Amino acid sequence: MTRQPLISLCVPTYNRINYLKRLLDSISVQTFKDYEIVITDNSDNDSVSDFIKEYPQLPIKYHKNTPPTTMAVNWNINISKANGVWLKMMHDDDWFATNDALEKFAAATNTNARFLCSSWQLIDDKTGHAKAGRNSNSGFKKILENPFLIFGDNIIGPPSVTMVHHSVEIRYNERMNWLVDLEYYIAVLRKYPASYIPETLINIGWHEQQATAVEFYNKSTEIREALILWNEYGASMIPGIMNYDTWWRLMRKLSIKDSTELNQYTAGYPIPFFLNNILSLQNKLPKNLLKKGVFSKLFMSYSYLFHFKGNMKRATVNK
């Protein structure tokens, strides 16, 4: 019988040997050794399978997706092939920030948590300098109380900063690309206990090849995936005004002109009743005024209190 490692390092990859080398090198120097590495390869050639032969000292399990899959499908295939007690996603363009990072993740498993995440820093691949980071224990506590806040602000970060217990049954939504990690976090945090590691353990590579960068400001993708979330959770996504503000800011950011334009990007998913009200109000306001935070918040609050809350109250009374 094969011994079960404490941690499976889940590495979905494709055609990016330079990034994969950086990650595997950071794994090689980890002080914690009770792990396996699961690589699922979406490459259209044999570059990855040939390259990993340079790491015979690492316990690598390799699988080639033929034909290549979508990003989320690749992540789920990887999880399905992992045998560890804990599953630690590591995207091929991210890497461990310190030699004892994995040891600190392992130490954090001594709780009742089934989902762990650490602080992280964003590293510019061109300069090697840290662009930004996230270390917010208070922010993490807020999303434990209201996981839907992640829809407006990804307090957790990319999947590479997380680790989940093998008993977590939730998988990544294969209909998504832009919001795939956020939807996963929401689903997990609504069901399982979670814990935060306030130390910076993961470096997140910042470069132009990232899949999410391609979808940024893509109206079709952002609206469709937001509506997938709404179709799943409905009005429970808006337990408070901060959650409503996320929808307000989404419409403002994408500069949707009216409901006719909005319908072009829904991919057949039902539109929340309040979005047309948001669009109607936003398009009555001067654009330069809408861009000013204090005025935007003021009109958003009006929309929430009189359009959303008012309609919800009337719907309750009429039941």
Q: Are strands 130-134 and 162-165 parallel, antiparallel or unpaired?
A: unpaired
Phi, psi of 264 (to 5 degrees): -70, -20
Residues 29 and 153 in one domain: yes
Residues 184 and 240 in one domain: no
Question: Which of 212, 247, 277 is where one domain is finished?
Answer: 212
- Bridge partners, residue 164, by sequence: 87, 115
Domain of residue 228 covers 217-317
Q: What is the DSSP letter of 63?
A: E
- Three-class SS state of 72: helix
- State pTM to two decimals: 0.92
Of 213, 281, 58, 243, the closest CA to residue 152 belongs to 243
Q: Is the pLDDT of residue 46 over 60?
A: yes
**Digit-coded pLDDT (tens) for 207-242:** 765 555 544 579 999 999 999 999 999 989 999 999
Residues 227 and 299 in one domain: yes
The mean pLDDT value of the chain amounts to 91
Residues 309 and 172 in one domain: no
Residues 168 and 57 in one domain: yes
Q: How far apart are the first and last CA of the chain?
A: 59
| Per-residue pLDDT, 287 | 87
Residues 189 and 236 in one domain: no
Only one residue has tokens 């937001």, namely 226
Q: Are strands 60-64 and 35-41 parallel, antiparallel or unpaired?
A: parallel
Instruction: Answer yes or no: is 32 within a domain.
Output: yes
Residues 138 and 172 in one domain: yes
pLDDT, mean of residues 266-283: 93
Is the distance from CB of 251 to CB of 275 less than 8 angstroms?
Answer: yes
pLDDT band at 315 (very low <50, low <70, confident <90, very high): very low
Is the distance from CB of 188 to CB of 164 less than 8 angstroms?
Answer: yes
What domain count does the chain have?
Answer: 2
**b/e for 258-290, b at 16 or more Cβ within 10 A?**
eeeebeebeeebeebebbebbbebbeeeeeeeb
**Digit-coded pLDDT (tens) for 48-88:** 999 999 999 999 999 999 999 999 999 999 999 999 999 99
